Structure 1
Amino acid sequence: MMVISQNFAEFAKFTSNFQGIPNGCHSISLENTGGYSLSGNCNNTCSWAIPSMDNNSKDILSLKIPFLNLFAGDEISLFKLDEQVTPLATITAKTQFVPSFNLPAKTGAYLSVARGNCLRNDTALIARFEIIPVCEKEITQAPRKNTVVSSPNFPDSYPLGVDCNWNISTMGSKSNLHLITFNHLNVSQNHTLTISRVLKGSQTTVNITLGEKNSSLPSDLLVLTPNHVKFYAPFNNIFTVGNGFQLSVTALDCGELYTRESGKIETPSNSSFCVWIIKVPPTSSDSVNIVIFTLTPNEFGENSSIEIHDGGSIRDRPFTNLSGSDIWSRTNELLIVYHPTSDNTEKITVNYKTFSCEPNMQCDNKICMHPEWVCDGFNDCGDYSDEKNCNETRPTPRPTEHPEIQTNGGYLVAIGLGVPAAFILGVCLTFLAFKLKNRSTEVNYAPFPIIEE
């Protein structure tokens, strides 16, 4: 160390204190990427400084700690290197999980490590940083095209301090509408995913926060363009983060959200991709509301241009039989997809109404029990309550079986292999004749393919 003094008067003097720096204890990074490791230095406080790279930059300083080995009494403190040296997070030997951290590159970061009693040859931590672009994107879609939006690092856990913004618009759309489908959502409490311009009465912004108590995926959303998607995960000392979200955003030619108790939907003659969502009131006192609908015409070929999902999302299974009248849903929501081919542009009308299931018509799990479910030999309710008090004793399916949903809510049952073939054939023919007599012929529809950009 060398000290140089200049311009002192004859009797002037100054005092100062100096302290030696333990070897490998303090470090400063002056590049756009770098790392820091700390070994030993017991009973000392060491530091790592990452100063501002550019005061006008919107870039992000991404900090990760891939290796951590702290003893009792060790403590790591992370600060934003602004004028106030704002504290952001504290890590101790009791910390079980350390996420990555995002900070503004224009402020920089400061890491302080206070070491207690330890081994002189141990490695306490290894940390790395890099400067990455700001989490912000402008997306312009063509009609009928699909864009996937996901949180940083997805499917791995997202960083703390993340503040992402996506502005999504459509080029040449007739309706300026988007369909947003949630493919995955695992967002910790106090971390929010906000979607603006949602078609839901007068409400134009939806804040979606999922914590430990709610892990189900929301229904699909119809939103006006341009719309704004924002994901915000502020710093906290709990270090609870999920692995984030993934959304599919599809531009539509037409669509609408129906919240009235009854209504009629007619397919347009000049649109090639439309989505309508029917969402009637969910309950009324002790009753459970569902949707009953009828299509005109009510007979469709294999290349039908309409598909109706039994629920409020394209994730939900489509009805496999759309013939007949008064088709019952399982919930208070339906999602209708209209995607005609060049040789199939027939006009289709959907008439719907709300039906209230009173308590005496409900399954034990509060699902509305369809009349044809009662004692039909299938676990239509999902909890076997539709097969209670039946005259015929029927075998209980194994819990591991996952039968497919049919239009009327029926399920497929496997027949044991130990029965002779002739007897099996006879049983099958008799069963088939009975079912054909009581149920409409089913038409299978392939799930609607997501159109990739």
Structure 2
Amino acid sequence: MMQRISLFVVVACAVMGTVAGQNCTPETTFTEPFNAWQIDKFPALGANCTWRLNVTNTTQNTLQFSGLNLNPTLVHLLVTTENDTVIANLTDSNGIEVVISLSNFTKVVLQRTAIAGTVTGNISANYDTSACSFTMTGSRGLIKSPLYGNQLNRTFTCSVAVTKPQDTDLFVLTFTGFSVSNGSLLVTLGSDTPRTLSGATLPDDILGTSTQDSFNLSLNINTNVIGQNFTLLYQTADSDCSGAKTAATAAAIQVLPAATQFPIQCYIQLRASTGNQVFTELQLSGGEALLGALDSLIVYDGLSRRSPMLGTLNSAFKQFVSTSVGMTIVGELGMQARLANISYRADPVSKVVTVTKGVVQNVSLTANMTATQAALLQFNGDGAMLRITVTGTLANSASVVTIKNSQERLVFSFRSGMALFPVTVSDKTARVSAMLNGTDTVNIEVAAVDADCNMVYTDITGQVTVTTAVDTRTSCSIAFVPDQSLMTQLSLRVNLCATGNLTVYDGFETGAKTLATITENTAVTQIWGPTGLRLVYSQPANCTNQIVSASYQSLAANSACGNLSQTGQLTTPNNPNQYPLNANCNWALPARNTSWMYITVNAPVQLQNTHSVTLLQNLTKSLAMFNASTTNPIPDIVVQNVNLSVAFNSAPAGSGLDMSGSGANITVRVIDCGATLNMNATGIFGNSGANQTMECIWVIQVAAGNSTNPNIISANLSMTSNPTADNTLTVKDGSSGRNDDYLPKLNRTILSRTNYLWVRYSYTAKLNTKPLNFTLSYSTYVCLNVCKNSLCMHPDWQCNGKNDCGDWSDELNCTIIPTPPPTPPPAPHTDDTKKSSAGWYVFCILVGLLLGVMLTVLVPRCVRHVRGRPSSSSRSGYSNMAEDA
């Protein structure tokens, strides 16, 4: 006999009353073909109550018990034959059980143990000798095969028919247990041909159609095999999103309902032809998951919901591939709106592969010239990691091989033009999806390992230590992959064994630029990879060093380079510390109509190799460049402010390891007028007198000349009045605003110390103020005398008693100034006359000495000054900028 447990039955059993403290009748006999009774009284301690079923002319009796829930310590319930052979022990059963007795005499025995205690319960019992057949109506329930015990050399048949209450749904039959090895179970849906099931393998789920209102089960058992049984869960599912479907090579779509009036179940069974696997993809619109907490979606690897689970809606996977020809998808959908499709197809290439340690698995994929070859490969390993090596050809721009972990997190994607290198997934499961076009062919080699040195790092930041002792490998690849729009910043320390080498590549392309080739132990402060970095090293097999110790970080390129400060300061990354290698920064300078840009370098520029800082116009035209050969200090620059930017580039040469420096510290400022006047022998400029606030800077440079006759600047300054606090004119002796000031006066001629002059005019317009009108004309002055340090020696520097050259060479071959003798001690006091004479004597000596010193210094100087002038017009009115005020 078979049994159905429904929600109603469970509730009904729960509310039945119980009677305690009364005893059942010791002996009761039934002789009718069918009857029923209640077991609500129990035997005394150590006693029994027996119900004897003695029905003549019968060979099969079907007994049904409901409400079973006994305390096995206090009471036992048995169904036996006439000679007390146990057919079924119901002591530990719960709910409903059906028992088949294959004789005309059967006993039901209720035994009370000798253990004291209160026994409660209310069991409904009935029997029927006419047939083992049940009919019921319901949309969900559990059907269990009957118990028949050890009754050999007999056969029996039981059947059950179930009708659904709603004809719009379809039946789904799921076996949760099955073992019918000496007999059969016939399953009939509607008027279809019966399906015969037997054996010990769990059958596939059976799905009906919306027109099949009922199903029938017929069980035929030969009792020579003891314990044959089955358990079947039946339910109904929405016919709009459920059914058994065939997966073909062409993709098909199953649409999930957008909204329902009440929760529904979708049950999809996908079956492919032999030699194919089922490939599904969940396609969602409007979000990454179905809306609402009531929704769930489970994908099973097989044609039954008892098959292993491939994933759920809440898992990271959106693509699934079965290990066989079948896949089952069960959805529990709430009433809210959703937009979701399930695409499915039969795939002869996609598969799930089991990888054991020590055994390498290979899967080859070849594109179809007329269609895209798409495949999903899932590798399940028995180690801590899976090493995946992709080889072959990815020439087509649309081809891609993507590697992900079990949480669907991207590890790496290989595309056309990229180098193919080993990738290790730190997971027991790895998923490789391939999309091949044209004539592309790849081979995917997978090995299960517990540790490996071929690693890919995708975190925002982290620390890495790698050794080649793992798996006795002598060559490894380490990839640092930033998120999109980010770059990788890497600091590393290298500890190579003898003959080892490490190469750093800029990105992952086949022809990626070599950033460094390291053959010795060293440290790299920082190296940047705009799209990521890849390290490849080789070592002898017996090397156990920690080859690479590194820290990495993903950064936005703009934030890594830094921005122009509010004060106009701009520095290369990490300044004043060492700048990173392979940096490429560009800073746009502030723009203003009809303006000029003043640029000054605040500290000595330190650049190595071919690294440079460049002032650009329109991003391409170089106006000034600083590099390793640039001489410090660097002159200030004034240029017209039209699409200006500053670029810093520290791209390494690639052979060996480039050195680094502190870079540059620059200040920029928008000004109203000015210029860099360079390499012109003469010139003139000034202020036109416009009554508006302004700042103007001019940097004058003439040709440097040579070491024998260097050039300096002779400038004539003409002003209408002296500068004021709001009307300033500053001239500096050199090429930068950091040089010493010279306070100009009316109508002065200036000689510089070098071939540069720096001039700044600033005016703050106020009521009752006027701008300063001035004119500065300049020309190249050729030095006739040179200091030993190659500085131009001005005519008035020689023998003036001052170190104007800086090395005292302007004071060589000069007349020695005598040192005055010490003052004699005062004479002893005698009388008033002697005292008066002695005082006059001392006074005369002092006056004489003073006159001698003045004649010795001034007369030769005047003579030299007159004889050394080429003409009176060229030598009058000079002002030495280095001279004290």
**1:26 corresponds to:** 454
Instruction: Report whether the alignment pairs 1:247 with 2:666.
Output: yes
SS in 1 for 2:810: helix
How many Å separate the matches in 2 of 1:380 and 1:443? 7
Which residue is equivalent to 2:528?
A: 102
In structure 1, how many angstroms separate the alpha carbons of the residues matched to 2:575 and 2:742? 32
The equivalent residue for 1:416 is: none
Pair 90,168 (structure 1): closer, same or farther in 2 beyond 3 Å: closer
**In structure 1, the residue corresponding to 2:557 is in which secondary structure?**
coil
Q: What is the distance in 2 between the residues matched to 1:47 and 1:218?
A: 44
1:287 alignment counterpart? 709
Counterpart-to-counterpart distance in 2, 1:246 and 1:124: 36
Separation in 2, partners of 1:138, 1:157? 15
Kindly indicate whether the alpha-carbon contact (under 8 Å) linking 2:692 and 2:763 is maintained by their aligned counterparts in 1. no
Equivalent positions of 1:355-370 (< 5 A) are: 355-358=780-783, 360-370=784-794
Partner of 2:274: none
- Give the aligned partner of residue 85 of structure 2: none
d(CA) in 2 for partners of 1:196, 1:79 = 28
Give the direction of change, closer, same or farther, for the CA distance of 1:117–1:350 in structure 2 (3 Å limit).
farther
* Greater radius of gyration (CA): 2
Q: Which residue number in structure 1 is paired with residue 752 of structure 2?
A: 329
| Matching residue's letter, 2:613 | L
Aligned residue for 1:238, secondary structure, equals coil
Q: Counterpart in 2 of 1:409?
A: none
Which residue is equivalent to 1:126?
A: 549
SS at the partner of 1:377?
Answer: coil
Change (3 A) 1:165 1:284: same
Q: Which residue number corresponds to residue 777 of structure 2?
A: 352
**Secondary structure of the corresponding residue to residue 186 of structure 1:** coil
SS at the partner of 2:664? strand
Matched with 1:160 is 581
What letter corresponds to residue 483 of structure 2 in structure 1?
M
Q: Which amino acid aligns with 1:388?
A: L
1:35 to 456, 463, 474: 463
In 2, the alpha carbon distance for the partners of 1:80 and 1:152 equals: 19
Query: What does residue range 157-196 of structure 1 map to in structure 2 within 5 Å?
Result: 157-171=578-592, 173=593, 175-184=594-603, 185-196=605-616
2:799 and 2:479 map into 1 onto residues whose CA distance is 72
Tell me what 1:383 maps to. 807
| TM-aligned CA distance change 1:77 to 1:5, over 3 Å | farther
Asked if the contact 2:608/2:658 (under 8 Å) is kept, the reply is no
Among candidates 646, 651, 655, match of residue 234 of structure 1: 651
**Structure 1 residue 308 corresponds to structure 2 residue 736:** no
Cα 1:30–1:76, aligned 2, differ >3 Å: closer, same or farther?
same
CA distance in 2, matches of 1:309, 1:441: 12
1:205-232 deviation line (CA, Å, top 9, x unaligned): 2342432x54413211112223121111
> CA offsets per residue over residues 390-416 of structure 1, 9 Å max, x none?
112699xxxxxxxxxxxxxxxxxxxxx
Contact 2:490–2:550 (CA under 8 A) maintained in structure 1: yes
Cα offset, 1:301, TM superposition: 6.4
Aligned to 1:319: 742
Indicate the SS of the match to 2:717. strand
Report the AA paired with residue 223 of structure 1: V
Q: Which amino acid aligns with 2:597?
A: H
Gap change, CA 1:63 and 1:373, over 3 Å in 2: same
8 A Cα contact 2:529 2:582, kept in partner:
yes
Partner Cα separation in structure 2 for residue 183 and residue 378 of structure 1:
30
Query: 1:331 is matched by which residue type in structure 2?
Result: T
The Cα shift of 1:240 comes to: 1.8
Percent of matched pairs sharing the same residue: 21
Equivalent-residue separation in structure 1 for 2:612 and 2:880 (angstroms): 46
**Pair 204,308 (structure 1): closer, same or farther in 2 beyond 3 Å:** farther
Q: Which of 42, 46, 61 is the matching residue for 2:476? A: 46
**Separation (CA, whole Å) in 1 of partners of 2:720 and 2:595:** 31
- C-alpha deviation, 1:348, in angstroms: 3.7
Report if aligned partners of 2:600, 2:736 keep a CA contact under 8 Å in 1. yes
Name 1:224's counterpart in structure 2: 640
Answer yes or no: is 1:77 the counterpart of 2:503.
yes
State the secondary structure of the residue aligned to 1:375: coil
Distance 1:249 1:102, change over 3 A: same
> Residues of 2 paired with 1:442 and 1:87: CA distance?
53
Unaligned 5+ segments in structure 2 are 1-321, 325-347, 350-359, 363-444, 820-845, 863-877
Structure 1 residues 176 and 282: CA distance shift in structure 2, 3 A: same
CA contact (8 A) 1:298 1:324 kept: no
Q: Is the 8 A contact 2:609 2:658 kept in 1?
A: no
Q: Which has the higher contact order (CA 8 A, sep 6+)?
A: 1
Q: Summarize the Cα distance change of 1:441–1:207 in structure 2 as closer, same or farther, 3 Å threshold.
A: closer
Q: CA deviation at 1:162?
A: 1.1
Alignment RMSD: 4.2
What letter corresponds to residue 46 of structure 1 in structure 2? C
Q: Given the alignment, which residue of 789, 797, 803 partners 1:373?
A: 797
The one-letter amino acid paired with 2:460 is N
Amino acid of the structure 1 residue aligned with 2:615: I
CA distance in 2 between counterparts of 1:22 and 1:301 reads 81
- Counterpart contact for 1:321–1:442, Cα < 8 Å: no
2:514 to 73, 77, 88: 88
Describe the shift of the 1:230–1:53 C-alpha distance in structure 2 as closer, same or farther (beyond 3 A): same
Aligned residue-pair number: 385
* Aligned-partner Cα distance in 1 for 2:509–2:728: 62
Aligned 8 A contact 1:197 1:224 in 2? no
CA distance in 1, matches of 2:709, 2:881: 30
User: Would the alpha carbon gap of residues 334 and 394 (structure 1) be closer, same or farther in structure 2, given more than 3 Å must change?
Assistant: farther
Cα offset for 1:72? 1.8
| Aligned position for 2:490 | 63
Given residue 130 of structure 1, which amino acid in structure 2 is its aligned partner?
A: Q
Letter in 2 for 1:111: L
Residue 551 of structure 2: SS of its match in structure 1? Answer: strand
Question: Structure 1, residues 175-213: CA drift from partner, whole Å, max 9, x if none?
Answer: 321100011311113112221249xxxx962342432x5
Q: Deviation at 1:330? A: 0.8
**Whole-Å Cα distance in 1 between the matches of residues 535 and 717 of structure 2?**
65
SS at match of 1:386: helix
Q: CA deviation at 1:75?
A: 2.1
Tell me the alpha carbon deviations over residues 413-447 of structure 1, each in whole angstroms, 9 at most, x when there is no partner: xxxxxxxxxx9xxx9xx99xx99xx9989999xxx
TM-score, normalising length: structure 1: 0.71
Q: Which amino acid in the other structure matches residue 570 of structure 2?
A: V
Task: Give how far 1:37 is off.
Answer: 0.9
Report what 2:164 is aligned to: none
In 2, Cα distance between the equivalents of 1:98 and 1:24?
24
Q: TM-score normalized by structure 2?
A: 0.39
CA offset digits 1:269-327 (Å, max 9, x no partner) = 32331112222333289532222223334874674611111112112221256466222
